[in-house]
A and B are shown apart, each in its own frame.
Chain A
Amino acid sequence: MNLKLPLLILPIISITFLYFQKTPAFDLKKSVARGQEVYTSNCIACHMEKGEGLEGVYPPLAKSNYLMADKKRSIVQIINGVNGPIKVNGVEYDGAMMAIDLTDEQVSDVLNYVRNSFGNKGVAVTPAEVKVARK
């Protein structure tokens, strides 16, 4: 007769357990190192070796207020590309960036690289966040 109670409690316990179970710590340093390779292959042609870009043509990543303002926006921009006018460090840009075909981990790695290089410092972007942004 009291089968109902444990049946109700069990999912609550498991959800609570899952909620508090810590995900393994994300290794930002390793991600940044992997990201450099992704950057060299996919981004360097326009954003340049030191993330300086080309004023008026390719927006800089180095000390970029636009880049560092919103990591979710950056994820979506890599997945879907960017089109139309944006303002970076006070300069207008009106170009196009193609969507880049990368895995969730590669997107996270390359963002961690640019967000933690060229004078930037930012919190980690995880592959899980990229996965969510794809939906």
Chain B
Amino acid sequence: MATITLKLNNTNHTIEADPKMPLLWAIRDVVGLTGTKYGCGIAQCGACTVHLDGKPVRSCSIPVAVAANKNVTTIEGVSSDNSNPVQQAWILEQVPQCGYCQSGQIMAATALLKSNANPSDKEIDTAMQGHICRCGTYPRIRKAIKTAAQLMAKK
């Protein structure tokens, strides 16, 4: 066990944990933020995506010690009132069906729009490929990313 400081959504959390424990476990079971989901556990599905210093990473496959003292943003940290353009677009386009993969999808989409303010269909498909949705909401995800791009351009 080790004492680890997690900077989660701009709040410091000091936790006692095995340094090798996945970051996702710390986020969900120790800190108690359950918006980030456990999908496959082997970095293949994208459901557990969070931002580590602004970059999307699979929290199921990163030891918690690696995230110590770095800025971790989860779906709860995107905004406190759904005001983020990506969240707005997700509501406008009614993207989720069951919703399980969607926090990962939104984290990936916000990262994509940060690096590419106006992605094409192809760029969206390429960037979002690692995020699996069993409900098949892909067309709405794509549409919502474009809507989010428009909302961001208006701001």
- The answer on a CB contact under 8 Å between B62 and A57 is yes
- The answer on a CB contact under 8 Å between B127 and A45 is no
Partner of A41, one of B42, B55, B130: B130
Residues of A within 8 A of B57 (CB): 45, 54
Partner of B46, one of A42, A45, A55, A96: A45
Determine whether B96 belongs to the interface, using a CB cutoff of 8 Å to chain A: no
Interface residues on B, range: 10 to 19
- The answer on a CB contact under 8 Å between A95 and B129 is no
From known contacts A40-B126, A41-B130, A42-B129, infer whether A96 and B56 are also in contact, taking CB-CB under 8 Å. no
Residues of A within 8 A of B66 (CB): 54-57
A43 to chain B, nearest CB (A): 9
CA distance A96 to B44 in the complex (A): 11
Nearest CB to that of A97 among chain B residues?
A: B43
Determine whether B61 belongs to the interface, using a CB cutoff of 8 Å to chain A: yes
Task: List residues of B (96-155) whose CB comes within 8 Å of A's CBs.
Answer: 115, 126-127, 129-130
- The answer on a CB contact under 8 Å between B42 and A46 is no
Interface of A is mostly: mixed
- The answer on a CB contact under 8 Å between A45 and B56 is yes
Determine whether B51 belongs to the interface, using a CB cutoff of 8 Å to chain A: no
Residues of B within 8 A of A98 (CB): 42, 44
Nearest CB to that of A98 among chain B residues?
A: B44
Residues of A within 8 A of B61 (CB): 46, 57, 95
Number of interface residues, chain A, beta carbon within 8 A? 16
| Chain A positions 34 through 57: 1 when the CB is less than 8 Å from some CB of chain B, otherwise 0 | 000100111011101100001111
CA distance A41 to B42 in the complex (A): 16
From known contacts A37-B126, A40-B127, A48-B55, infer whether A57 and B46 are also in contact, taking CB-CB under 8 Å. no
Determine whether B77 belongs to the interface, using a CB cutoff of 8 Å to chain A: no
Determine whether B37 belongs to the interface, using a CB cutoff of 8 Å to chain A: no
A86 to chain B, nearest CB (A): 16
From known contacts A54-B66, A56-B63, A95-B61, infer whether A41 and B129 are also in contact, taking CB-CB under 8 Å. yes
Residues of B within 8 A of A48 (CB): 55
Interface centre among A45, A46, A56, A96 (most CB of B within 10 A): A45
Residues of A within 8 A of B46 (CB): 45
CA distance A41 to B128 in the complex (A): 7
B5 to chain A, nearest CB (A): 17
Nearest CB to that of A55 among chain B residues?
A: B66
